[in-house]
Copies of this chain bind each other. A is one copy, B any other.
Amino acid sequence: MGKQMTEMLKGTLEGIVLAILGVQPAYGYEITARLRERGFEDLAEGTIYALLIRIEQRGLVDVEKVPSEKGPPRKVYSLNRRGQEYLEEFWRTWSFLSERIGQLHEGEV
């Protein structure tokens, strides 16, 4: 990751993952792979796992262990009620910030 992207992901990556889980449950390896496909090519492996553990400890997601045919069991995360609320708050914060920055980009200072 470029340094700028790394810093910019702080605070937003969490929202990105929660939004993905909001659509449908997923497990860490899967989320990492999907993000890499979608342009975050050198997203570090460990980053997502650390993030998932964090949001689990905050009670934003529910976890279920599901056996895999191809390796160790998967930890499938799904967004719960609290996570939903937190995600809505994230969208409000994001909307505010992206609007301001958008204005700056258009040159309206």
Q: Does A101 reach chain B (CB closer than 8 Å)?
A: yes
Q: Copy number in this complex?
A: 2
Chain B residue with the shortest CB-CB distance to A86: B4
Q: Does A49 reach chain B (CB closer than 8 Å)?
A: no
A100 to B39, CA, bound (A): 9
With contact pairs A38-B100, A97-B5 given, residues A91 and B109 touching in the complex (Cβ less than 8 Å): no
Q: Is the CB of A97 within 8 A of B11?
A: no
Partner of A105, one of B2, B14, B19: B19
Per-position contact with B for A1-43: 1 when CB-CB < 8 Å, else 0?
0101111111110111001100100000000000000111000
A63 to B23, CA, bound (A): 48
* A109 cross-chain contacts in B, Cβ below 8 A: 19-20, 23
- Interface pairs (11), CB distance under 8 Å: A2-B89, A2-B93, A4-B11, A5-B11, A5-B97, A6-B11, A7-B11, A8-B94, A15-B101, A20-B109, A39-B100
